[in-house]
Amino acid sequence: MNENELLGPTAHGEPLGHAVLKATAEDFQVDEVLEIPLSGQGEHLWLWVEKRNLNTEEAARRLAKAAGVPLRAISYAGLKDRQALTRQWFSLHLPGKADPDFGRAQDETLAVLQQCRHSRKLQRGAHSANGFRLRLTSLHADRAALDARLQGLAEAGVPNYFGPQRFGHAGGNLEQARQFAQRGELPAQRNLRSRTLSAARSYLFNRVLAERVAAGTWAVAQVGDLLSFTDSRSFFPAGPEQCADPRLAQLDVHPTGPLWGAGASPAAGQVHALEQRIVAAETELAVWLAGAGLAHERRILRLPIKGLSWHYPAPDILQLEFVLPTGCFATAVVRELVSLAGQTDI
């Protein structure tokens, strides 16, 4: 499957040109934003780690081996891209143990930048956001058009699609999900189960979002919508009064789409009808997700881009800096600007 089949139409027009992303790891930098004060004491050792072309799970294995602890003693807030330069937190449970020497774990792909003790372990999803610094190289696009488009993205946000990496190479994770759904089975392997369930859920969400982008309603609250604040997992129904809430225009409140699970969508009216139509076309996936014990959740359809800035270090290079909420993809910003020739893993 190609990117357009996995995601959907852009909202701000056709790509303004083409470029390359991730020619080097330094072209795609991600920093976790974690707003937890560390006490300096406790049985959990927190590590601020820089990774280059290394995925989070492999970094965790190397840290566990160096510390002489089982992998289950390592925690992290979220997964980060492999083909990138990323900085994120890990925690190790070390009751009654001294701080290990991580020298054996470190090389040009992994460095421990900071360490501090704390009384609690790092929980999944504990970070509040991710900061991105992206460099688009071999850029062929009109600078004035790019500047105008970027200003529009800063003011209006972008569709909050799950990125193509969620679905694996050529949609392989989604294809595996379909195979398990057809058999009515769940993968026995924990990582595979998580990956395939996530791919199926993300695909259904993207289909709903794609329909609303095509209809021009992805950023507009409709009666029957379920609305949410940017950083909240809760939602509330939209009546006429809520649809006129000024916080919608301020990009603080957004319409949401379904993360499918057990139970019917709590949306109403035309919004409910659209979501049911999408699910009816993917009955096997929907039934499979509900049977896996997942609860119905919501995700914002519109992605606000915080602190967006840009400049051109060279005539054929565009550098972007911005902050996105957790679980959101830089892909959603880049694809509204240019196409990436021969690249889908971003």
- Give a three-class secondary structure readout of 151-178: HHHHHHCEECCCCHHHHCHHHHHHHHHH
- Residue 81 a catalytic site member: yes
* Dist CA 21 CA 115 (whole Å): 31
* Dist CA 40 CA 63 (whole Å): 20
- Catalytic, out of 27, 81, 107, 231: 81
81 in Cβ contact with 28 (< 8 Å)? yes
- The secondary structure of 7-63 as a DSSP string is S---SS-S--EEEEE-SSGGGEEEEEE------S-SSEEEEEEEEES--HHHHHHHH
* Dist CA 320 CA 306 (whole Å): 12
* Dist CA 218 CA 271 (whole Å): 11
**Which residues form the catalytic set?**
81
